[in-house]
Amino acid sequence: MFNTKNTQFLDYFYEGEHLCIYPWGHGLRVHDSFFDGMHNWALTEKSDFDSNFTVIYNADEATIVNGKNKAIVNKNGKITFYDKNKIILEEFWRERNFRKIKINNSQFLNQKENEYSSALKIKARDFSPNNKGSYEVAVRFEANDNERIYGMGQYQQSQLNLKGCKLELAQRNSQATVPFLISNYGYGLLWNNPGIGEVTFANNITEWKNIDTDCIDYWICAEDTPKEIISAYTNVTGHSPKMPKHALGLWQSKLRYRNQNEVISVAKHYHDLHIPLSVIVIDYFHWPKQGDFKFDKRYFPNPEKMVKDLKRLNVELMVSVWPNIDCTSENYNEMNEKGYLVRADNGKSITMTFHGNTTFFDTTNPKARRFVWNKIKRNYYQEGVKHFWLDEAEPEYSTYDFDNYRLHLGRNSQVGNIYPALYVKGFYEGEKKEGQHNPISLIRSA
């Protein structure tokens, strides 16, 4: 049934399920759940919508219009999206599609034209209870034969057009999930859920899944060009700041510079060859133990002097930071006691074995982010290091057992894909608080 009194957004209830479609920026946000409350996740920015947006209810359907974007929900809950009057995306329903009509005081069952009527009993939006106290959800859309789909982040495959592909929605080393697509049908879609799942762009169906969540949440926008879709997308998710001029040149890195003298020697050689160098990067294991968050003074005895020497050559220094905390690190016991580490529900909380037994600090915990930043501030920032390469940001579990890890915000299967975004947030907020005008962070998997 429709809540016809609500004209701020399209409001639909059915058997405890609450479907809401909001005007959101230049697009529409769809949120469906059996629970109250809503997280914005990737939709972090307040973006004005069309002041002339409309919500109209009638007996059989409800319509919301926001600029070029229109969605119609029929009384059974099926959503169809339009760019003005052209269908761009519609939900996949396979149920008996009859409605009662009255002729001469007698009731008859009448099938609506141009819609499926099927005995399969497949709904477009499916909530299946799991053993975690939440749901495995699926959202299904009709497949378009000539559709081409682009985006979704970075995957180890050769296909540029994702039509026909099945993609895991999870961060791994060399796999960056950014669940936003652009279609040649003239729309963009953001799957606004940080949980683990998958999406299938098959020839007979498009299907999005999450294995552990309490809602369906996505944003869709129709525009005339890909550029306009990207503009609308960044208006609701955030704009990247302009890169500082000093960082627009050549960056030099290798695996890896062993000591302070080698770093200075390489920078001087560039200078002697009259090759302008903007940034030089000190990669991993320049620290005593993973999680110490400081230079190993045996090899980098005077970081402040190193930074000043590089600046005289017009070179900025960037250092690699890992989120790994070795069990023998000077910070491990305190972080473990305060609950700042990713935990395992089963077995020991060792999440990566690489040059030691390590776990990751919990970027979803604001206190953990501040703790780590304070270490970075003391041992790097106050020595003159202002740029950071936030590596291992997936994070790179030795075993990608997504169900077994628990974070401050919830199970990894619920929220794990937000880890890299909150990793960089901790550094960004820390540097801004110190007065850094335009911080630079090179972040993996975000």
pLDDT in tens, 352-380: 999 999 999 999 999 999 999 999 999 99
| CATH code for the domain of 154 | 2.60.40.1760
**Of 219, 196, 234, the residue nearest 418 (C-alpha):** 196
287 and 152 share a domain? no
Q: What percent of the chain has pLDDT over 90?
A: 88
pTM here? 0.94
160 and 208 share a domain? yes
- Domain assignment present for residue 425? The answer is yes
pLDDT in tens, 34-54: 999 999 999 999 888 888 899
224 and 285 share a domain? no
- Domain boundary (217, 237, 257) is at 237
**Could you list the residue range(s) of the whole structural domain that residue 195 is in?**
10-237
169 and 267 share a domain? no
| Continuous H helices in 14-63 | none
232 and 337 share a domain? no
pLDDT in tens, 190-242: 999 999 999 999 999 999 999 999 999 999 999 999 999 999 999 999 998 88
70 and 86 share a domain? yes
Q: Is the peptide bond before 378 cis (omega within 30 degrees of 0)?
A: no
- Domain boundary (186, 218, 237) is at 237
Q: Could you identify the residue written with the tokens 């993996």?
A: 444
Tokens of 335: 């972080």
pLDDT in tens, 385-442: 999 999 999 999 999 999 999 999 999 999 999 999 999 999 999 999 999 988 999 9
- Domain assignment present for residue 127? The answer is yes
SS3 at position 374: helix
State yes or no: pLDDT of 104 exceeds 70. Answer: no
- Domain assignment present for residue 35? The answer is yes
363 and 278 share a domain? yes
Q: What percent of the chain has pLDDT over 70?
A: 95
* E strands in 4-148: 10-14, 17-24, 27-33, 54-57, 61-66, 69-74, 79-83, 86-90, 98-103, 106-111, 125-129, 135-141
Do the beta carbons of residue 27 and residue 230 sit within 8 Å? no
- Domain assignment present for residue 3? The answer is no
What is the pLDDT, as a whole number, of residue 286?
98
Average pLDDT, the chain: 94
| CATH code for the domain of 397 | 3.20.20.80
- Domain assignment present for residue 4? The answer is no
166 and 295 share a domain? no
- Domain assignment present for residue 1? The answer is no
62 and 205 share a domain? yes
- Domain assignment present for residue 5? The answer is no
The residue with greater pLDDT, 200 or 108, is 200
The domain total for the chain is: 2
- Domain assignment present for residue 74? The answer is yes
391 and 434 share a domain? yes
